[in-house]
Each structure stands twice: as C-alpha cells, then as structure tokens.
Amino acid sequence: MKSPMDTHPTKKLKMLIVDDEPDNLDLLYRTFRLDFQVLRSESAISALELLEKHGEVAIIICDQRMPEMLGTEFLSLSAERFPDTIRIVLTAYTDVKDLVDAINSGKVFKYITKPWNQQQLQRVIQQAAETYQVLKQRTDELRRSLRRESLFNVVITAIRESLDYRSMLQTFVRAVRKAFDADTCMIYPVESGTQITQPISAQETALSTSSGTYKIDAYLEDLFQNIIYQPVWIDTGVKSFYLKSSSCNDYTIDQPLANSIDRIVLPCIYKSSLLGILTLSRGETAWSGEDVKLLEMVVEQAAIAISQAKLYQRTQQQAEQMRAELSVARQVQNNLLRQTLPTNDTLRVQACCHPAREVGGDFFEVYQHPQGDLWLAVGDVSGKGVPAALFMASAISVLRRELGQEISPNPSEVMGNLNRILFDDLVSTNCFITMILARYRPETGQMMYANAGHLYPMKYSCNCAELSEPEYPTTRGIPLGIRSNWVAPTGDLTLASGDVFLLTSDGITEATMRDGQDLENLPGTDIPTMMLQQSGLWKLLRKEGKSIDLKHLLQEIRNITIAQEDDQTILSLEVL
C-alpha cells in the first residue's frame, strides 16, 4: 500500500485506535504503525484524555460497542473539539440507527464490519488519510486567506486613518507588531532611494539621541548598505532578509527559517523604488515560513499606501509653501494699491478690492496730479490668480508712469499708451485687460473718461429725498490687448454737489445670488436672473441711502451671494 505520508516523509499523520479488545487493538497498531504515529486506548474515557494531551489526530478508528460509551457517542464528543479528524467505526453488530445517525450528522466517515478484510481496511484508511490531508490543506488555505484578509484590513484601515505621513508609519509598525506578535517593530524611511531618515518604532515616533541624531545598530548597518547600494531584490525578487541570532551581522537571503533567526528585515518597495526598511525581532520563537510570506504580502500592500502618503505629504508641503509664497504675494499686491486716498471738504473717495484667490487681476488706482486733477481707474485682467496678478502689477506700474507726466494727459491718450506698452505680452499669453480711466477736475466739476471694454460707470445724485435713478455713460472702446492700436472716443460728464460716480468690476455684478428672491424686499423691479447685475447693485445702493459705505456694501453683497467666484473691486467718488 502507498504510504499516506509519501509526500511528507519526515512527518507522520497521527492515528488514534480505540477498542476494548486488546487483540484487535494490537492488530490495528501493528498494521498502521509504520505509516502513522499511532496512539491507542482501550476505553473511550482514556481516549478523550489522549486527545486532550496530544491534540488533533488525523484518523480515529473506534469500536462501536464499548462498556463506557458507544463508539458513535465518543466520536461525537471528539468532533466538537476536532472537527477535521476523519472518524471510522468498527462494529460486529448491525447498529443501523446509531450508525446512520452518526454518518448523516458528519460524525463518521466510514464504518467497517468485523471481522474486516485487511486490504479493504487499508484502502479505507488510505482514503481517509488523503481526505484528511486535502481537508487540512483547504482549511489551512482558508485560514491563511482569512488571516491575510483580516490583517490587510487592519493594517490598511490603520494606515488610512492616519493624519500624516509619519503618524501613518507609526500606525503601520504598531499594527504589524501586534499582528505578528513581535517584540520590536521599526521602519527606517528612505528618502530619494538612498537616504535613511529617523527610524519610527511601534513604541515612539522616532528614535533619536539627545543631540537629535539617531543610530543604526551594528547588526543592521551592513545589511542596509547592501539593500540600498546592491539592490539584489530588484533582479532576484527577494522580499525579505533574515538575521541569525548566532551572528547578527550575518544574513541569508531566502534561506529556510531556523530557530536561530530572531530578526526579519524587509525592504518596502513600490515600483522599484525603496521607500523604507522594516525590521521585526522576536526573542524566543522564530516566525514560521507562513508568517514570513504573509508579512511580505502585507509589506507589499503597505508600500502602495506609503507611496501615496509620501506623495500626499509632498503635495501638502508644496501646497503649504505655495500658500506662504502667495500670502507674501498678496501682501505685495495689496501694497501696490493705494493705501491712503485723498480727502478734502469737497470730495470723498472710497475703494475696495478683494481677490477671489490669494492674488488676483483686479486693481484700482487713485492719483492726485500736481496740477489738481484727480485720476480714478478700475481694471480687470482676464483670468485669475498669479498670471492675472502679474499683469495687474505691470498695468499699475505703467499707468502711474503715464499719469505722472508734467501735464495732465487725456484719458484716451493714456489708454492708448497702456495698450501699446502691454500689447505684446498680453497677446503672447492670450490675455486682455478691461479698464475704465477717469480724470476729474474739482474746480470745474468736469470729468473725462476712457473705457476699454469695461462695465459702464454709474452716476447718480443724493440731493433728492430719494436717490435719483442712475445714469450709465456708454462711451466705450475695446479691451486692451485686442488690437495693437487702441482708439476710442473720450466720454465726458459733469459732477455737481451730491453726485456719486461709481466704478465696479464684473466680479460684483456677475456675483451669483443664493436665492433670486433675496432682493424682493428692496425697492425696485424683480431681478430677472440669478446674477446680481447692475440693477441689483442699484437696489443695494438705494438701501444704503445717501451715506454710502463701500465696505458695508460689499458685506451686503456677500450676504446674498454664494462663495466669491471672481475678484471684486469697487471705487466711488462723492462730490460733497
């Protein structure tokens, strides 16, 4: 007969024989002792004690009729503790009901009648051994699969719940240490493929000395150098290295685990990039080969999460650096705008500019010419963010140079010069600028303006009991940066005492309201669209009354609109 252990010659399956007849017990023992590790008992009670002492056996051969209890009763008790054991009943009686019940409930694999045929019995035992081995193999595979999935879930969940890269690494080593019952677990992060940074252990965030540096123990230094500078794992597929306790600086690659092994070192690799080196140690019991394979799979899965965490950390650092730089840029941009506005007994100027992002393309300018003219401007560079802010800075610089001429120029002349100077840069970046530029002469009340594709200005009077209906001067040309030669007529109007001249950017008039009914309680007609528009702005101005406050007005606009989507700029000139 082929031995059931031919494929595993170094280890025999266990067999328990239970029979109250010594001759049968001895015969069965001599029959199977060469192929199995045979335990024998003359009673069911002592057999239970043997199972308690030796643990699970592969096969139980049990006599049905015994003084203390029936064989089927004994097998039922053993099945509660050891469900994978193959159970066989020997009987000289036709205990049909008991046997059928036992077989139907899965307690008995086969029953053999006495006297038995020797060859038939050996075939049954061979079949039982093969069945047990297949069953154990599948059970072990299922157990390993469940353990692997459970461990993956624990580790990956722990990683995903971490807030940052280093806390994620510590969470990872803690989960691995607990799952594999390690005495210590530590990961050495590797930057740029070769630079080992502060190690992180399951007990603390980083291991360092009082000077802030850290040391790699002598047992690992040589191995680390080989992993980093002689990466055999790339070509050979080696996933782990084993340090022997008998010689800690001697390591083997893919060698069978032995009891002398107390430390495992695993490179954490993602797409051929070394992200870190994980080390585990255990003082007394070495890990099984199954544990090591499972650990290798866990590290492979964790490497993906670690790579994503590093990328996220790098992205966060870059974003933080960008936010810091943009904060400085915003301060610089704010400083470019006029910080103090001219005031006297005959006029009052207000201006506000709020970019949608850290920096923006809207701008305003208020310039008091030495000859007495007051210049007002509001502009809007197409786009948002840094590119628009750069053109905004250029436009203000050129505008101030043009306005600083000895003789106060004509607004259309200034606009033409701006277009000529900025045209090539605007065209090369596919940008343009809308802008309105006005020159006011206090002694005559005359205002001249040039409009380069910007919103119409608004003029209204506060002299009446109620605000007069606004005027929208419509003289306008094309935006700057569309044609190389900017030509447009100059508009003119006269401001009297009590008049208000208002300039805005489209970030205000195109602001989207939360609810189209928000302005119903204000005087005027219904708003036809969900945008504020100039008609909605006029309603808010009427609500403000004769005393206009631009900061309060902008706050009212924010109260009835959704999150700011575009730069918002507003400038007003009141003749007192």
- Would you tell me which CATH number, out of the four given (3.30.450.40, 1.25.40.10, 3.30.300.30, 1.10.510.10), belongs to the domain 162-314? 3.30.450.40
Nearest partner of 63 among 34, 101, 23, 6, judged by Cα: 23
Which has the minimum average pLDDT: 258-267, 378-387, 486-495? 258-267
Per residue in 45-70, pLDDT (tens digit) is 999 999 999 999 999 999 888 888 88
Report d(CA 340, CA 73) in Å as an integer.
101
pLDDT greater than 90 at residue 356: no
Residue 464 DSSP label: S
- What is the pLDDT at residue 528? 47
37's torsion region: left (phi>0), alpha (psi -120 to 50) or beta?
Answer: beta
- What is the pLDDT at residue 145? 80
Identity at 125, one-letter amino acid code: I
- What is the pLDDT at residue 206? 45
Report d(CA 553, CA 537) in Å as an integer.
9
CATH 3.30.450.40 placement within the chain: 162-314
Mean predicted confidence (pLDDT) in 149-154: 78
Per residue in 252-294, pLDDT (tens digit) is 444 444 444 467 888 888 887 888 888 888 876 777 777 888 8
Place of tokens 């709020």: 354
- What is the pLDDT at residue 250? 42
Domain 13-140 has CATH 3.30.56.10: no
pLDDT greater than 80 at residue 241: no
Nearest partner of 157 among 305, 356, 314, judged by Cα: 305
Mean predicted confidence (pLDDT) in 332-361: 86
Q: Is pTM beyond 0.85 here?
A: no
- What is the pLDDT at residue 222? 67
Mean predicted confidence (pLDDT) in 424-432: 92
State percent of the chain over pLDDT 70: 83
Who has greater pLDDT, 231 or 393? 393
pLDDT greater than 70 at residue 249: no
Report d(CA 153, CA 324) in Å as an integer.
38
pLDDT greater than 90 at residue 454: yes
Q: Is residue 422 a contact partner of residue 394, using CB atoms and an 8 Å limit?
A: yes
Angle at 15 between CA 11 and CA 19, to 5 degrees: 160
- What is the pLDDT at residue 325? 83
Report d(CA 516, CA 184) in Å as an integer.
64
Mean predicted confidence (pLDDT) in 137-153: 80
pLDDT greater than 60 at residue 433: yes
Per residue in 70-91, pLDDT (tens digit) is 888 888 888 888 988 999 988 8
Report d(CA 350, CA 502) in Å as an integer.
10
- What is the pLDDT at residue 439? 97
Residue 112 confidence class, pLDDT cut points 50, 70, 90: confident
pLDDT greater than 80 at residue 233: no
Structure tokens at 268: 């954490």
Question: DSSP 3-state helix, strand, coil percentages of the chain (rounded to 5)?
Answer: 40, 25, 35
pLDDT greater than 60 at residue 251: no
Instruction: Compute the mean pLDDT over every residue in the chain, rounded to the nearest whole number.
Output: 82
CATH 3.60.40.10 placement within the chain: 340-575
Per residue in 542-551, pLDDT (tens digit) is 888 888 899 9
Could you tell me the end-to-end alpha-carbon distance of the chain, in angstroms, rounded to an integer? 119
CB neighbourhood size of 144 (10 A): 13
Residue 211 confidence class, pLDDT cut points 50, 70, 90: very low
Report d(CA 275, CA 318) in Å as an integer.
20
pLDDT greater than 60 at residue 247: no
- What is the pLDDT at residue 36? 94
pLDDT greater than 60 at residue 529: no
Who has greater pLDDT, 528 or 37? 37
* Fold type of domain 340-575: Phosphatase 2c; domain 1 (3.60.40)
Residue 105 confidence class, pLDDT cut points 50, 70, 90: low
